[in-house]
Amino acid sequence: MAVWLTFALMVSQVLADENVQVQIQQPYIELHSGPAGGFPVIHVVAKNEWITVIKRRTNWFKVETMKSGKGSAQGWVKQEALQLTQSSVGQPVKLSDGSFESFAQRNVEFGALGGSFEGVPSMTVFADWVATENLVAGVSVTQALGDLSENQFFLVSVQHTTFPEWRISPYITLGAGKIRTKPRANLVQGGDETRTSDLLAAGLGLRYYIAQNFILKLEYQHLQALTDRDENEDLEQWKLGFAVFF
């Protein structure tokens, strides 16, 4: 529970850190006293003036003017108004509207998954880079603590989604990495030796776009540790968790 709470707090901090400066491109925009059209207009910002985006509430943004010599003013503007501004490098401002369409335009994903690795609890954290609408490349780190051993493994993987336009969509993964196994009980002679092996992975998953910037993911992985013994070791993992995208 503590891990999930920490992850949620990290996500909230990332989403809250949206302070950017943008320049007005239309003749003017109106600042409202609250985050809805029913609130009165309290200030008008003219073309070419700069404003700072402070925070977001649904599709309304709280902003502060930067006009020198006349003090600053704060108010709320609707998302459509900000999308007609531009950044300090002259590029139009792109804002996620909390819809499935914004999910299709994501660049990166970060997440945490809890599950079972060979019958013992496991925790996985990952970061993915979205190359195309069908292909995603990523890295992940997993730790599994059992009564007899502690396993840690690192994977670099590629994920393919056949139907990216579906809100609930299956995908497959292929990956490779390293696994480190450390016995927690000296059951046999030499049983306290830590082993490191190459690791291959193949998996099936299901992702579900929930809302805003959140995704639910369910995944099964079959792993094979390439040991220096006569036979390689076959392993299985199930995991379920959340991810955020940007």
Helices (H), the chain: 2-16, 79-82, 100-104
pLDDT at 3: 46
CB atoms within 10 A of CB 70: 7
pLDDT at 241: 96
pLDDT at 144: 93
What is the DSSP secondary structure assignment for residue 88, as one 8-state letter? T
pLDDT at 13: 43
Which pairs count as long-range contacts for 179-185, CB under 8 Å and 24+ apart, including other chains? Answer: 179/151, 179/152, 179/153, 179/223, 179/225, 180/151, 180/152, 180/153, 181/149, 181/150, 181/151, 182/149, 182/150, 182/151, 183/148, 183/149, 184/146, 184/147, 184/148, 184/149, 184/150, 185/147, 185/148
The domain made up of 104-245 has a fold known as Porin (2.40.160)
User: Mean pLDDT by 10-residue block, N- to C-terminus, for the chain (246 residues)?
Assistant: 45 50 86 88 89 80 74 84 71 61 81 94 95 94 88 96 91 96 65 83 94 90 86 92 90
pLDDT at 78: 85
What's domain 17-95's architecture?
A: Roll (2.30)
d(CA 85, CA 22): 6
What is the DSSP secondary structure assignment for residue 92, as one 8-state letter? B
Question: What is the DSSP annotation of 186-219?
Answer: --STTTT--EEEEEEEEEEEEEEEEETTEEEEEE
d(CA 227, CA 13): 42
pTM score, two decimals?
0.62
Domain boundaries, the chain: 17-95, 104-245
What is the strand order of the sheet 60-65 is part of? 41-46, 28-32, 74-78, 60-65, 50-57, 20-24, 85-86
Residue 80 sits at φ, ψ, to 5 deg, of -60, -35
Cβ(162)–Cβ(205) below 8 Å: no
How far from 178 is each of 204, 211, 238, CA to CA, in Å? 20, 34, 18
pLDDT at 231: 80
Q: Which residues contact 58 (CB under 8 A, 6 or more apart)?
A: 35, 98
pLDDT at 105: 73
